[in-house]
Amino acid sequence: MACLLYTGYEEKIRPYIDLIDSLRELGLDKDLPLPSIAVIGDQSSGKSSVLEMLSEVSLPRGTGIVTRCPLELKLKKGEKGLPWEGQLRYRDSSVTLNSPHEVEKEIKIAQEHLAGITGISSELISLQVESSCAPNLTMIDLPGIIRVPIGDQPQDIGSTIKNLINSYIRKEETIILVVIPCNVDIATTEALKMAQEADPKGERTLGVLTKPDLVDYDTEKEILKIINNQMVPLKKGYMLIKCRGQHDLLANTSLASALEKETEFFNKNIHFRPLLDKKMASFQHLSTRLTSELVVQIRKCLPGIHEKIGSKINEITKQFNEMGGTIPEDTKARVHILTSKILNYCDELTNLAMGDYKKKYSSEVKLHHFAREKFAEWYKKLDGAKIKLDEGAMNMVKHHEKHSKGRELPGFTNYRVFEAIIRDQIQELLEPSLEMMNEFSAKVETVCNTLALLHFSGLPVLVNEIQAKIAELCHKMESEAEQMIRTNFKMEGMVFAPDEMYSYRLMKFQSLSQQMGRSSLRNPNLDVQTMVVHLQTYYEIAIDRLIQMVPMVLRYYLLQELSAQMKVELAQLLFHSKDVDALLHEDDDTAAKRRALKVSLDWLTKARTLLMSY
Ligand code: GDP
Ligand code: MG
């Protein structure tokens, strides 16, 4: 067999093509576009013929849509003397081929499998050919563009094909090989239009003109204009090639002799012959050109690929870890993982309760921030609060004056009246403190639940178990806190302050009032005036206690005690739980997602290792 090509082969370039092939094999192009050569053309433009001549493999031919799935042609130059070897892969199938003649039949079977008898599928069929005559090249053959559906083809087949083609050629990494027959008006070719839309600057499009032997007499000059970039300019330009014509096919002309005939044709044609010297015509030059274009493209894309793989690995690792990493099969390891998950959760709760934000917590979770805000509101509400001399209080003072006052001079107020008024007013703060406690406890419960979901995501049994404990404990701590707050309010009912403190505050209050000339205190009734002074003095002392007491109770019970008791509860859960398996039961979705993440992570890591060696 006469070998076409192979000046283009260099030891140095094969590894680059191999690398991208391996990355594609790993499934990387689903997430990261990889450099490739996509071959597009209108129907009957000569696409299959071009690929055949490059690969020296007979591809399915015929009228109508023959290529119905993207076909990846991986051509590898094998050692001289070694036999031809082929491998066809699609979905989960892998077929070994021993001769180029088997290719056509097997591709047809594969296409029927993936796309039915007449349909189009975007699933890739991959054909790897290793032969001493093959160039080092990977190309993707795409279905030919058709304008009108015929026979029982679906009405939207044209747009389905265009979408499929676009999905390849739109990627910046793709080199577009547009096959255009010389014997049609270049302006009317749909493929070139599509290439121009996908690559408006024509930077990654290479035009391949076929059928130069079919142009009308003396129109070669027109073809030369195209090739010389005078019609539709492309940065990569055009190349001219001659494939097997219908006549050659009927005469069973071999691919090898078709190559010889091509050289002969160009040599004989005075218009086209100079193109041979300029390496702008013939399969020989096309194949060399494509290989080097592909390698240049790969080199250009490698840093980007490296970077994208790195960030993809980070992203997936994060998701994977968030899902709790791997759940092992072995019982001992399972107990270990359960224990460590629970301990981690406890640590996290302790950190939050202590306000020890070593990790980057979201503001939602920062309990002390929430507490600080609530306590500030509480302070604002209480600080500077004035005793309210409402009607009830005034009536009490007046009632005493009228009915119980004896020989006392004005200003000598009744202590019991004072106590009664102050008790009432302080008790009014009980409800707001309990409200704050409820809000606080609800927040703590939410945060604990959120953290449990994060720590034990995908383990619904464990999450339920822990959330039940959280609810129980929050409830318990809340009632203890409530008890404590109520007791404190009861104690406030006793009306107490150290004498020295009271005297000091009273004098300070009186002198301040005088300085500021507080009009509210200047009641014409001296009894009322004196009562107000005492009430306000004492009220401020009591309020100072409450400003501190309620937040301290909440912090103690709902943060410190809760996290401490949660630890005990969870330790008990571990000790008493005989059924580790039940606790570690994963829901199906999570198990599947975890497996999928693991697979992605494995192949990305492989891809990175592979890239590192370049
Ligand atoms: P596809 O539909 O784009 O894959 O086109 P094919 O490769 O099947 O080619 C369509 C027809 O054009 C076939 O009969 C080929 O033999 C013929 N053909 C392709 N290239 C050439 C060429 O360079 N010269 C001649 N004479 N015929 C060609
Ligand atoms: Mg074809």
**Whether residue 206 has pLDDT greater than 90:** yes
Judge contact between 14 and 76, C-beta under 8 A.
yes
Helix (H, G, I), strand (E, B) or coil at 57: coil
**Whether residue 7 has pLDDT greater than 70:** no
The whole-number average pLDDT for the span 561-581 is: 86
Give the pLDDT score at 445. Answer: 96
Instruction: Tell me which of 15 and 191 has the higher pLDDT.
Output: 191
How many A from CA of 45 to the centre of ligand 1?
Answer: 6
Residues 604 and 498 in one domain: no
Q: Which ligand is nearest to the CA of 258?
A: 1
Find where tokens 């013929």 sit.
49
What is the spatial distance between Cα 440 and Cα 435, in angstroms, rounded to a whole number? 9
Q: Which ligand is nearest to the CA of 143?
A: 2
What is the spatial distance between Cα 422 and Cα 442, in angstroms, rounded to a whole number? 32
If you take atom 23 of ligand 1, which residue's CA is the nearest one? 211
Residues 43 and 79 in one domain: yes
What is the spatial distance between Cα 107 and Cα 60, in angstroms, rounded to a whole number? 7
Give the pLDDT score at 224. Answer: 94
Which range, of 55-59, 187-191, 198-202, 277-281, averages the lowest pLDDT? 55-59
The whole-number average pLDDT for the span 102-128 is: 89
Cα–Cα distance list, 375 to 106, 556, 607 (Å): 76, 14, 54
Give the pLDDT score at 371. Answer: 93
Pairing outcome for strands 85-90 and 125-131: antiparallel
CA 491 to chain centre: 57
Residues 275 and 352 in one domain: no
Give the pLDDT score at 1. Answer: 40
Residues 53 and 66 in one domain: yes
How many A from CA of 183 to the centre of ligand 1?
Answer: 11
Q: What percent of the chain has pLDDT over 90?
A: 43
If you take atom 24 of ligand 1, which residue's CA is the nearest one? 211
Residues 562 and 439 in one domain: yes
Backbone angles phi, psi at 391, to 5 degrees: -55, -45
Which range, of 11-25, 32-46, 210-224, 537-551, averages the lowest pLDDT? 11-25
**Whether residue 474 has pLDDT greater than 90:** yes
What is the spatial distance between Cα 503 and Cα 609, in angstroms, rounded to a whole number? 80
If you take atom 27 of ligand 1, which residue's CA is the nearest one? 245
User: What are the structure tokens assigned to 149, written together?
Assistant: 């559906």
Q: Quick check: is 4 in a domain?
A: no
What is the spatial distance between Cα 596 and Cα 614, in angstroms, rounded to a whole number? 28
Give the pLDDT score at 4. Answer: 47
Give the pLDDT score at 614. Answer: 66
Q: Which residues, 6+ apart, have CB-to-CB distance to 4 below 8 Å? A: 53, 54, 56, 133, 135, 256, 259, 283, 284, 287
Q: Report the CATH number at residue 443.
A: 1.20.120.1240
Residues 18 and 117 in one domain: yes
Q: Quick check: is 47 in a domain?
A: yes
The whole-number average pLDDT for the span 72-81 is: 84
Give the pLDDT score at 324. Answer: 65
- The residue whose CB lies within 8 Å of the most ligand 1 atoms, and thus the one to mutate among 42, 44, 57, 58, is 44
User: What are the structure tokens assigned to 471, written together?
Assistant: 């609810």
The pLDDT tens digits of the residues spanning 135-183 come to 878 899 998 888 777 777 778 888 888 999 999 999 998 999 999 999 9
Q: Is the dihedral of CA 374, 377, 381, 382 positive or negative?
A: positive
Cα-based torsion angle of the residue sequence 448, 451, 452, 457 in order, rounded to the nearest 10 degrees: 160
DSSP structure string for 81-102: TPPPEEEEEETTEEEEESSTHH
Give the pLDDT score at 132. Answer: 82
Q: Quick check: is 1 in a domain?
A: no
Pairing outcome for strands 36-41 and 174-181: parallel
How many A from CA of 48 to the centre of ligand 1?
Answer: 7
pLDDT band at 521 (very low <50, low <70, confident <90, very high): low
pLDDT band at 48 (very low <50, low <70, confident <90, very high): confident
How many A from CA of 518 to the centre of ligand 1?
Answer: 106
Domain termination residue (choose one: 257, 287, 317): 287
Q: Quick check: is 230 in a domain?
A: yes
Q: What is the chain's alpha carbon radius of gyration, rounded to the nearest angstrom?
A: 43
User: What are the structure tokens assigned to 337, written together?
Assistant: 């993982």
Backbone angles phi, psi at 544, to 5 degrees: -55, -40
Q: What share of the chain is helix, strand, coil (3-state, %, to 5)?
A: 60, 10, 30
Q: Which residues, 6+ apart, have CB-to-CB distance to 155 below 8 Å? A: 149
The pLDDT tens digits of the residues spanning 477-520 come to 999 999 999 999 999 999 999 999 999 999 998 888 777 765 55
Q: Report the CATH number at residue 149.
A: 3.40.50.300
Give the pLDDT score at 518. Answer: 59
Instruction: Tell me which of 22 and 142 has the higher pLDDT.
Output: 142
Which range, of 163-177, 227-241, 327-341, averages the lowest pLDDT? 327-341
Give the pLDDT score at 381. Answer: 92
Give the pLDDT score at 545. Answer: 95
What is the spatial distance between Cα 570 and Cα 441, in angstroms, rounded to a whole number? 19
Instruction: Tell me which of 40 and 361 has the higher pLDDT.
Output: 40
Residues with CB under 6 A from ligand 1: 41, 43-49, 61, 144, 210-211, 213-214, 242-246, 249
Which range, of 1-15, 338-352, 463-477, averages the lowest pLDDT? 1-15
589-593 long-range contacts (CB < 8 A, ≥24 apart) are 589/458, 590/323, 590/457, 590/458, 590/459, 591/458, 593/323, 593/458
Helix (H, G, I), strand (E, B) or coil at 361: coil
Q: Which domain holds residue 387?
A: 331-583
Which range, of 15-19, 196-200, 499-503, averages the lowest pLDDT? 15-19
What is the spatial distance between Cα 545 and Cα 524, in angstroms, rounded to a whole number? 32
Residues 257 and 340 in one domain: no
**Whether residue 581 has pLDDT greater than 70:** yes
Q: Quick check: is 346 in a domain?
A: yes
Cα–Cα distance list, 515 to 73, 301, 386, 509, 605 (Å): 98, 81, 18, 10, 78
Residues 203 and 352 in one domain: no
Residues 559 and 417 in one domain: yes
Instruction: Tell me which of 158 and 4 has the higher pLDDT.
Output: 158
What is the spatial distance between Cα 128 and Cα 105, in angstroms, rounded to a whole number? 15
How many A from CA of 593 to the centre of ligand 2?
Answer: 40
Q: How many domains does the chain have?
A: 3
Assessment of whether the complete model's pTM goes beyond 0.85: no
Residues 252 and 340 in one domain: no
Give the pLDDT score at 589. Answer: 80
- Exposed / middle / buried, residue 404 (Cβ in 10 Å: 0-12, 13-18, 19+): exposed
Q: Quick check: is 269 in a domain?
A: yes
Q: Quick check: is 313 in a domain?
A: no
CA 174 to chain centre: 25
Q: Quick check: is 7 in a domain?
A: no
Q: What's the chain's average pLDDT? A: 87
Residue type, 30: K
Helix (H, G, I), strand (E, B) or coil at 152: coil
Give the pLDDT score at 146. Answer: 82
DSSP structure string for 155-174: TTHHHHHHHHHHHHHTSTTE
Give the pLDDT score at 354. Answer: 87
Residues 252 and 341 in one domain: no
Q: Which ligand is nearest to the CA of 50?
A: 1
How many A from CA of 521 to the centre of ligand 1?
Answer: 109
99-102 long-range contacts (CB < 8 A, ≥24 apart) are 100/56, 100/57, 100/58, 100/129, 101/58
- Could you identify the atom of ligand 1 that is nearest to the CA of residue 242? 23
Residues 476 and 608 in one domain: no
